Each structure stands twice: as structure tokens, then as C-alpha cells.
Amino acid sequence: MPILSQYPDYSLSIAGHTDNKGAAALNLALSRERAAAAKRYLVQHGVAENRIEMRGYGARHPLVSNATEAGRARNRRVEFDLFVSSSPNSAQLKYGSEPTKADVPAKPVKANPARKKPAANRLGRTRKSAPKAGPRKAAGPVAPAKKAAAPKAPVRRATPPRG
């Protein structure tokens, strides 16, 4: 990297990030692996290893919302920042210290708030929701629809005369 050879007082900060899919502990490890891969590449291409600092932040600092695939793709990234070697690491200034496994919850945290229970009717029963509509599968040949029969006129029965 020519810029590092031109400025010997500078170091490089590498910060790895992920989207919010999967367990937080796995995302933290994945973000560190991303930063480590970038560091390996630079060291193989002549950058001194002692001038590179790397950190993994998992899904803690998204650029955009993780609600869409396009947003998640933007959040899976590695950031490179130059900083003066005697100064604090620029990634640490932006994002704080690197989280550890102890900082990550053991179970994934639900992104959606808890749903409310449906209200009970006067008999104390709750209404079940309708099943989600999905793609319909053909069940074989469909019988032609029957035509509706015309309504029949009421039949009057003759009653014998009284008498």
C-alpha cells in the first residue's frame, strides 16, 4: 500500500461489520474474521503487520436498516481508516472499544416487540387468525362448475271441498 510507505507515522485501522442475521456471538466472530482477512491480504502485499490494527463489531453499527436484503448487504462490510500511530485508533473513536464475547447476549434478541394477545370475546374465547395465503397447488383436473337451477314455484295441493 503506497500511502503507508509515504507516511511512516500513520497506521491503518480495519473494522469488520455484519448484518443482524444470526446469533450475535457468531456475527462478532464473523466481523473479526472479515477484518483478519483484509489484514492478511495487506501483510502479504508488503504492509508491516505492526502498522495494522483490526477490530470486529458484529452487527452493532449498521450503516442502514437491516429490514431489506439490500440494507443487510450494505451492512456486511470492512472499513479502512488511516490514523497517526501515536493517536487513538480511528475505529475506536468512531465505534468505541471492540466488544468481547462477554458483551454479547447468549441468545439472540428479538427485533420485534412482543405481540399483544388477541382480545377475548364474551365467552372468553380468542379469535384465531386466518392462515397465511401461499402459492396454491393444482389438485388435478377441476370439474366444471354446475349451473344454478332456476327456483321452482311452490306446489299447491288441491284440498277436497268441505261439505
Give per-residue pLDDT as tens, 39-63: 999 999 989 999 999 999 999 999 9
At 78 the pLDDT is 97
Count of domains in the chain?
A: 1
Write out the three cell numbers for 34: 472479515
Report for 70-74, 99-103, 157-161: range of highest mean pLDDT: 70-74
- For residue 15, the enclosing domain spans 11-103
At 88 the pLDDT is 81
Is 2 a domain residue?
Answer: no
Indicate if the pLDDT at residue 25 is higher than 60.
yes
pLDDT band at 157 (very low <50, low <70, confident <90, very high): low
Is 34 a domain residue?
Answer: yes
At 71 the pLDDT is 96
Mean pLDDT over all residues of the chain?
80
CATH assignment at residue 46: 3.30.1330.60
pLDDT > 90: percent of the chain: 42
Tell me if 10 sits within 8 A of 52, measured CB to CB: no
Is 71 a domain residue?
Answer: yes
Is 136 a domain residue?
Answer: no
Per-residue buried b or exposed e for 20-49, using 16+ beta carbons within 10 Å of the residue's own CB: beeebbebbbbbbebbeebbeebeeeebee
Indicate if the pLDDT at residue 125 is higher than 60.
yes
Q: Which residues pair with 82 in a beta bridge?
A: 12
At 95 the pLDDT is 84
Is 60 a domain residue?
Answer: yes
| Mean local confidence (pLDDT), 30-43 | 96
At 127 the pLDDT is 60
Per-residue buried b or exposed e for 106-141, using 16+ beta carbons within 10 Å of the residue's own CB: eeeeeeeeeeeeeeeeeeeeeeeeeeeeeeeeeeee
Residue 140 — left, alpha, or beta (φ > 0 → left; ψ -120 to 50 → alpha)? left
At 64 the pLDDT is 96
Task: Please give the single-letter amino acid code of residue 70.
Answer: A
Is 151 a domain residue?
Answer: no
